[in-house]
A and B are shown apart, each in its own frame.
Chain A
């Protein structure tokens, strides 16, 4: 990624050259009200040069833009082939993966969003600059601009085009013989007999306000002017294109690949500090380094105590002052010593170690009292949900979801999180450390399945849940 700077410069130049006064007009007529936002496109592109994959909501937050407005512009950029976007439905888990990846890339501070942990299935959109494509798009755009101007300037080799204003059918001068009418001196559409309009006349009329023949001459002058201006004003851009030509294009890959890579990189950066970090063992399954640090952060598992602490801390690291929701705090206090140490090692990357420690201690103290209550609540809720499930084992997964959801929203949430958490192998590893009763570790192969959306795994997970419950009771 060392070569990213020239490309970012290219993006910035292109943004200012071509998207400065973009108002995404014409996309939809009713969006005219947006026209006072010109310049925003440049801001967004600039912001994207400082990021890699970014969740659009976060970007909107950072830029203090309305999400809708941002989306509209991003959609425009997508059409312009400047960015790639990715949309996926995800639970809190998916968001965590991204958060971890985002933190690992280290560019930009992580905005704390503990609140997000509660979200259910939401579609999130991510976007990222596509440098390779941008390079091509900009070159193509320049080429087209020049060609169009040159052609019009010389107008020797241009075959006049005609367009029917009624049905938008297009003709060229080569069709002229078929288009003449014995009754008047215009060309007529073959389909609807409408009077055809010469395309350049139409343009001229737009630009100059009148379509008479004088327009052609003035237009000619104008084009000549434009062409020479273009050469001069776009010089920095063409220079930058030339500079970038032989450089390796920064490639972030797809969102998923990027997350995996960023997480792996982020972890290896901390690597030596926390060699014993159980999270490292999670690399083991699946062969590829799965970005599950993030996931750990999220788990609301009454047994998955350890991981919670990690979450808290890393989030605390960036935003020590934030008051954490009680249901998260309780987990934090259950941390074992060694895990605490491990988390700290991670925090050091964040930079604010002391602050994190302080807040962590504080939170755990606070949470100590609440913890029992909350855990009990969780258990109750969980059992309720579980019972319901068992009674309805024959039902479709979808139905089960709904059913458990009906008990109460919170129940639904907890069970969801719980299930997700319990299924990951590395979770088991964690738990193995300090909770003896955890002995029913789903094998690595099952882990794969459980990463899949909970909804789809509901049936398969029934048995596992039973096991867990039994253990717990014993």
Chain B
């Protein structure tokens, strides 16, 4: 799920950036530092959408670095148990398949794949129904439901299922090509 929220961070800036465009430099560095990171609490920071305030800088003894407390708005993505996501399959093996929804990695184990889909090993391993009408392989897009998340300080990993109504393949590159 996406959230728009205000976060705060202490930015350290090298003295060489002190000048007319100090603020721009600060924002650029903030984006570089923060976007794409993941915190267990808030989830993945997808994008910074604005700066609320930049506080007074504090010069560090000895180094000349200055620390600015920055409040910024950002979009975060945080997967939740029970959430339905669309994801791209990245790997298929006998144990199930892995998929990515943006920055989040999701594993769908084979017992959460519909029973009528069988694993087919080979150059392009895939799960296929008996009549061959539905196939899950690398690059397939699937809609899945998250049934469990592992949230570490800097990482979120999910497991999902496609064994439910309206879940499964939403487009099959193999079928269109």
Contacts and interface: CB of A to CB of B under 8 A. Distances in A.
A220 interface: yes
Contacts of A185: 93-95, 121, 125
A198 B36 CA distance: 33
Interface in A205-237: 213, 216-217, 220
Interface in B18-62: none
A155 B107 contact: no
16 contacts: A156-B161, A157-B147, A173-B148, A174-B107, A174-B148, A174-B149, A174-B157, A176-B96, A176-B159, A180-B91, A186-B93, A187-B95, A200-B111, A216-B111, A216-B115, A217-B116
Contacts, number: 74
Interface size class on chain A is 20 to 34
Contacts of A217: 115-116
A68 B91 CA distance: 57
Chain B at the A interface: SS class: strand
Contacts of A156: 112, 145, 147, 161, 163-164
Most buried by B among A187, A198, A213, A217: A213
A276 interface: no
B16 interface: no
Contacts of A323: none
Contacts of A176: 95-96, 98, 107, 109, 157, 159
Interface of B: 91, 93-96, 98, 105, 107, 109-112, 115-116, 118-119, 121, 125, 145, 147-150, 157, 159, 161, 163-164
A200 B163 CA distance: 16
A174 B159 contact: yes
Contacts of A407: none
A155 B148 contact: no
A105 to B, nearest CB: 54
A158 B111 CA distance: 9
A180 B163 CA distance: 22
B175 to A, nearest CB: 22
Contacts of A172: 148, 159
Nearest to B158: A174
B162 to A, nearest CB: 11
Nearest to B93: A185
